[in-house]
Structures are given as C-alpha cells and as structure tokens.
Amino acid sequence: MPGIPPFSDKELRHGGVLADLTRTPFRIRRPSKLLTPFIVASPHSGRVYPKNFLSLSRLSLDVLRRSEDAFVDELFSPALELGAPMVAALFPRAYLDVNRAPTEFDAGMFDGPLPFPVDAASPRVQAGLGVIPRIVREGSEIYARKLTSAEAVARFSMFYRPYHAALSKLIEETAAQFGLAIVIDCHSMPSAAAVPDIVLGDRHGASASPLLVRAAEDAFERQGFSVARNVPYAGGYTTQLHGNPHRNRHALQIEINRSLYMDEEAVRPNASFTAVRTRLEAAMRDLLAIEPLRLAPPRHAAE
C-alpha cells in the first residue's frame, strides 16, 4: 500500500513501542533460588504490537491477536515458584515466529532478495507460517503490500537471534549446575480440530527422554487432562534446536487446548482460567519432581 513506510532508524532510536521491544524483546524471569533443571519457555504469548506493524497490516488488531498463544505465559508462570526460570517473548507471533527454523522465510513476501539462505520448500513456509508469517490463523493475509528485505533482516537480528541466544544461555547455565537441562516449550492450540486437552511433542522421541514424556503424561492425566503425544503437534524448531537427550539436553513441547481457559474469539480468559492454572501448577509440580538422574543417557550412547 503506497504511503506506508517500513520502520525507520528514527523510530528505532526514539521512543515508541518498537523501540521498547528492541530493548526488551523478551522477558526472563528467574526464581529466587534455582531448584530444578527445568526451563519454561513461552515463544508465542507476546502481545506488544509495534505501531508500524499494525499500519502495514490489512487486518485489525483483534484478528491478529487470534494467532497468539494468549496467556500461556501466565498459565505456566507458577513454575517460577517451583524453582524454574522462564523466558517469554514480548513480541507477537504474527510479527515474528521464533519457533521456525532460521531459513523458513517466504521470499515472495519481500520486494528484494534476502541476504541469507531461504528454504522455500518448507511446508510451513508454503502454508504461510514462516519466521515472518504471511497469514494468521484463519488463513487471512496479514500484509497489504510486500515488505522490504531490510525489515526481514531487522526483525531477524533484533528479535529472533536474541531470543534463541538467551534460551541457549539459560540452558547452558542450567546444565552447568545440574548436569542436564530440560526445556518445556509452552503453547496453546485451537479447539476447532477436536484436539485433546494436552498434546506433548517430543519429535517422536528425538528431543526428550521417554521417561520425561511419560512423567509429563502421567502428571497431566492425574489432574484430569486428556493427553496425546505428537499428534497433531510433534514439536517445532525449539525442540529440534535445543533437544538432544544424548547430550543431557531435553526439550518437550506442551500444547494446551485454548477452549479450556479462554474465549478464543474475544482473546480473553474465561471463567475456568484460574482453575485450569491451578491444575497446571499441580501437574508441573509433579513433573518437576522427577529425579534428573533417571533422564541421563546410557553410558554407551554418550560415548
């Protein structure tokens, strides 16, 4: 759409939502005492929308917000009281998605070549759900015009890289103290697909110990949640990047059915929010009590 400029150096330097986000693109909350090798991540619950992004979009804020894993950071925040740190993105998923591989850009969205490798054949890119998404949940196109390649570079360097660098640092700090690290990557899922209450994704056994997955399944079922594994969500880039059980690095994706705790259309908590949060806290308490030595890989696998 003519007359709508990309965000400028001036906007980045002087005040405004975008400048605030570039200074603090995510929030790391640490417990008063680190008691566990678990790390909780919420990459899709950000709800700080840059004004320039809204001006570039053909969609209303209400529609854009339906792509959020809204309130997931709040649902899982009791993990802090259990001694686990938490990292949560503040930027919205519709603006940039850190649960995608760094090559998953749709080159057709930009008015010039991108200065980094692009995987045009990625199913997520083909579906319009790359690092910079082309569509929102209902399939509506986000942008009124092509973006500049400079915008892709800026978002990638200012939001994507710092988020994964911070999570990697947390993982290494945790592993140095406990000998292993376990990332719980927290998401929500639309209820329209008749999904269960909880879906656990371990990339079909590649990103987490089977004992960890079983412990998570048992913990959620004890709280009355119905649980499935890897269908329809087996885990995204976060579990792929940070999950390596043979190196004592585990990553488990947890998806919770949005209808349990929120009004999906209005994007606001429903009357069951507090009760669901309490049940999740109890499940996380059980899960975090797992004996870390049980998750160590066999000696021959580590050699």
Residue ranges of the domains in the chain?
9-94+157-302
Q: What per-residue confidence (pLDDT) applies to 245?
A: 95
Task: Give the model's confidence band at 229: pLDDT under 50 very low, under 70 low, under 90 confident, else very high.
Answer: very high
Beta strands per DSSP E along 109-203? 181-189, 198-201
Mean pLDDT of 59-67: 93
Mean pLDDT of 227-231: 97
pLDDT of residue 22 exceeding 90, the answer is: no
Burial 242-271 (b: 16+ CB within 10 A, else e): bbebeebbbbbbbbbbbbbbbebeebebee
- Rounded to 10°, the helix 210-222/273-288 angle is 140
Task: Give the model's confidence band at 178: pLDDT under 50 very low, under 70 low, under 90 confident, else very high.
Answer: very high
Residue percentage of the chain with pLDDT more than 70: 91
The mean of the pLDDT values for the chain is 90
Residues 279-299: pLDDT tens digits? Answer: 999 999 999 999 887 787 655
pLDDT of residue 27 exceeding 90, the answer is: yes
Burial 213-227 (b: 16+ CB within 10 A, else e): bebbbebbeebebeb
For the entire predicted model, the pTM comes to 0.90
**How far, CA to CA in Å, does 116 sit from each of 50, 125, 126?**
24, 15, 18
pLDDT of residue 16 exceeding 70, the answer is: no
In 3D space, the residue among 113, 119, 139, 238 whose CA is nearest the CA of residue 182 turns out to be 238
Q: What per-residue confidence (pLDDT) applies to 299?
A: 55
Asked which of 160-169, 231-240, 252-261, 292-301 is least confident by mean pLDDT, the reply is: 292-301
More confident residue, 90 or 19: 90
Asked which of 11-15, 29-33, 34-38 is least confident by mean pLDDT, the reply is: 11-15
Fold of 9-94+157-302: Aminopeptidase (3.40.630)
Task: Give the model's confidence band at 13: pLDDT under 50 very low, under 70 low, under 90 confident, else very high.
Answer: very low
